[in-house]
Amino acid sequence: MKVQKKNIVMGGLLMILGLVIAMQFQTVKNTAGEGLLSTQKAQQQMKKLEILRNESQSLKDRLAIIEKEIKSYELSDADENLITKNLQTELRKYQEIAGMKSLEGPGLVVSISDPQGESYSGQYESQIIYNYMFIIDIINILNGAGAEAITINDQRILATTEIYPSARSLIVNSVPVTPPINIAAIGDSKALEAALNINYGILYEIKKFSSIQVNIRKENLVVVPSYNRIQTFEFAQPVIRNN
């Protein structure tokens, strides 16, 4: 809008300049058509021409100033657009980190299921629920291997996510999640898979201490949904440091 206003002003001045020059030269031309000019009239016309030249130069100087101002406004608008673009990029980045945006990309899916044909008696109705620490270990390993986003049965994993067992389900983000469990992670699928398959690592522990079935598959496209709850802080406040 600023540049548009300046363009209108410059256009108006150019129009005025053209009209003034045209009118003044037309006056001289009409007078010249009346016959031979007397010395006095010739001097008067010369003065008018000189005044016209001065006015024309003044308008040209003013136009040059306006052109410089327009360029400065264009630069300011470009800077403003760049700042806005950078702020939007930063906002998107922090929204992604905070889980406010759904994400997609290459990665892998870890499918975890209870053994078929086996019943589990005890406080929990599932080996997965009883051995829920395996789930937490897998998530920690994926994070350590560079996973950029993780979900458990469509529950986004954040720094504030809690995972604990109940009788019939795992509680993730205060939401009951029942087996089978699918852990999806976005990142370098080779690095993520290698971290899980390390010798005497988490898969070795699962096979040694349980009958839980684990399947890992790499995917070209993994979708991690956004976190659908609003995070609020009642006691925590940002630290303000005075330099």
Domain ranges in the chain are 2-97, 103-224
Token pair belonging to 154: 């469509």
| Domain spanning 103-224: CATH superfamily | Protein of unknown function DUF881 (3.30.70.1880)
35 pLDDT more than 50: no
User: 124: how many CB neighbours lie within 10 A of its CB?
Assistant: 18
Strand order through the sheet with 155-156 = 155-156, 149-152, 181-186, 103-113, 213-224
Q: Residue by residue, what is the 3-state secondary structure of 169-198?
A: CEEECCEEECCCEEEEEECCHHHHHHHHCC
Strand order through the sheet with 163-165 = 163-165, 170-172, 175-177
161-216 per-position pLDDT tens digit: 899 999 889 999 999 999 999 999 999 999 999 999 999 999 999 999 999 999 99
Q: What pLDDT was estimated at residue 21?
A: 54
Residue 213 dihedral angles phi and psi, to the nearest 5° = -95, 130
Residues 67/69/75/79 CA torsion (nearest 10 deg)? -160
Q: What pLDDT was estimated at residue 172?
A: 94
Residues 84/88/93/96 CA torsion (nearest 10 deg)? 170
The CA distance from 127 to 211, in Å, is 8
Q: How much of the chain, in percent, has pLDDT values that exceed 70?
A: 60
> Is residue 157 a contact partner of residue 151, using CB atoms and an 8 Å limit?
yes
pTM over 0.85: no
Confidence band for 107, pLDDT divided at 50, 70 and 90: very high
Mean pLDDT of 28-33: 46
What are the C-alpha distances in Å from 227 to residues 143, 157, 169?
Answer: 17, 8, 20
CA 109 distance to own-chain centroid? 27
